[in-house]
Amino acid sequence: MIPIDPWRLIQQWQSELDRLSRHPFHADETSVVGGEWVPDVDIREEPERFVLCADIPGVDPEAIRVDMRNGVLSISGERRLDDESEHRPLYRRMERPRGGFHRRFSLPDSADAANVTASRRDGVLEIVIPKVRKEPGRQIPVSR
């Protein structure tokens, strides 16, 4: 059982306001957030793929879930306390957020949902979404 710390909630709220002020276009209609904390995410477009990188240090890879459905990419997970035994130390200060997170992103029609890959290294989750290869247009003859 973890005691509720109202100051921690205020700090999380302040942290979220600070993040939004640094990235005013970060919270748009394509990015849905939820949970007890929000990992920062970068999305870049390359000629053959989209690459999403999320900062999730301290999250066990087994606690990460990546789903792709109906053009929406979802990532979720949970960061737990370092020591969840009943004899854990009394924290004097806790600034690193804990608990669950959930992010959703709408992807363009050019995203190849069947070939999405995910890996984690040095606390960064990297999701690679290849683009669907477009067939070149062709002229269709009209018969008489």
The tens digit of pLDDT for each residue in 116-132 reads: 999 999 999 999 999 99
Between residues 37 and 125, the one the model is more confident about: 125
Owner of token pair 């240090």: 57
Instruction: Say what the pTM is.
Output: 0.68
Distance of CA 34 to the CA centre of its chain: 10
CATH number of 6-130: 2.60.40.790
Nearest Cα to 72, choosing from 116, 137, 10, 39? 116
Given a contact cutoff of 8 angstroms between Cβ atoms, the answer to whether 129 and 111 are in contact is yes
Spatial separation of the C-alpha atoms in residues 95 and 63, rounded to whole Å: 21
Q: Nearest Cα to 54, choosing from 136, 5, 118? A: 118
pLDDT at residue 25, rounded to an integer: 42
Q: Which residues contact 134 (CB under 8 A, 6 or more apart)?
A: 110
